[in-house]
Amino acid sequence: GENVEQHPSTLSVQEGDSAVIKCTYSDSASNYFPWYKQELGKRPQLIIDIRSNVGEKKDQRIAVTLNKTAKHFSLHITETQPEDSAVYFCAATLIQGAQKLVFGQGTRLTINP
Amino acid sequence: KAGVTQTPRYLIKTRGQQVTLSCSPISGHRSVSWYQQTPGQGLQFLFEYFSETQRNKGNFPGRFSGRQFSNSRSEMNVSTLELGDSALYLCASSPNSRGTGSEQYFGPGTRLTVT
């Protein structure tokens, strides 16, 4: 199938705490896994990505981990701030058949001050 | 560099009509992809163009079509509009030949409402 499952659909954390969003994918040939942040009324923006030859990538407060065997990847945000509130989408490039970027359903993250 | 631009930003059409949306990618980007975003279905891939050729296509009916010009600008067309076509249509450009296998820069979208 062509599935990317994302959990949870909503997440509420206290400012300063960490947030974790998880995704699973179906195509074992997938090789590119980006994460996008979409604020209300704005366009999606790439915040971090990882390729299948890497297990972990970090950029300041944001990190992504990839487990190819289990076909899942996760976004970790540490020391959360109010401006982190947004909808986050994971995605995977599916290779079987036509190459396409398939998105998860999104996680609405709310940071409580 | 200027970002990805899309025109028009808002559009209202009636069932049965057709519509053409336009996307100008970031200068130098040759890959342009189109996505449909709805509250129920999320972000869904429509198709990707690279060097004026449709390279990949999602699971949408033939009423959805597109093209790309020599300057990399792209248009998508939806014919015989249905109520379910109401959505935000996003285009994204990519700086390298990997297209959907690399970073995508999104435009602001065109909000299409079908009545």
Q: What pLDDT was estimated at residue B98?
A: 79
Task: For residue A31, give the chain B residue with the closest CA.
Answer: B101
Instruction: For residue B81, give the DSSP letter.
Output: -
The per-residue pLDDT for range A30-52, each reduced to its tens digit, is 999 999 999 999 999 999 999 98
Residue among B27, B36, B103, B33 at smallest CA distance from B71: B27
Q: What is the pLDDT of residues B7-63, one digit of tens each?
A: 999 999 999 999 999 999 999 999 999 999 999 889 999 999 999 999 889 999 999
- How far apart (Å, rounded) are the C-alpha atoms in residues B23 and B104? 14
Interval B91-100 mean pLDDT? 85
Q: List strand residue ranges (DSSP E) for chain B, in order.
A: 5-7, 10-13, 19-24, 31-38, 42-50, 53-57, 64-68, 74-78, 87-94, 105-106, 110-114
List pLDDT tens digits, range A62-95: 999 999 999 999 999 999 999 999 999 999 998 7
> Which residue of B43, B59, B100 is in closest CB contact with A89?
B43
Contact criterion met (CB below 8 Å) for B112 and B87:
yes
Q: How far is A106 from chain B (nearest CA, A)?
A: 7
Residue of A nearest to B104 (CA): A46
Instruction: Measure the CA–CA gap between A7 and B83, rounded to whole angstroms.
Output: 29
| Size of the A and B interface in Cβ pairs below 8 Å | 55
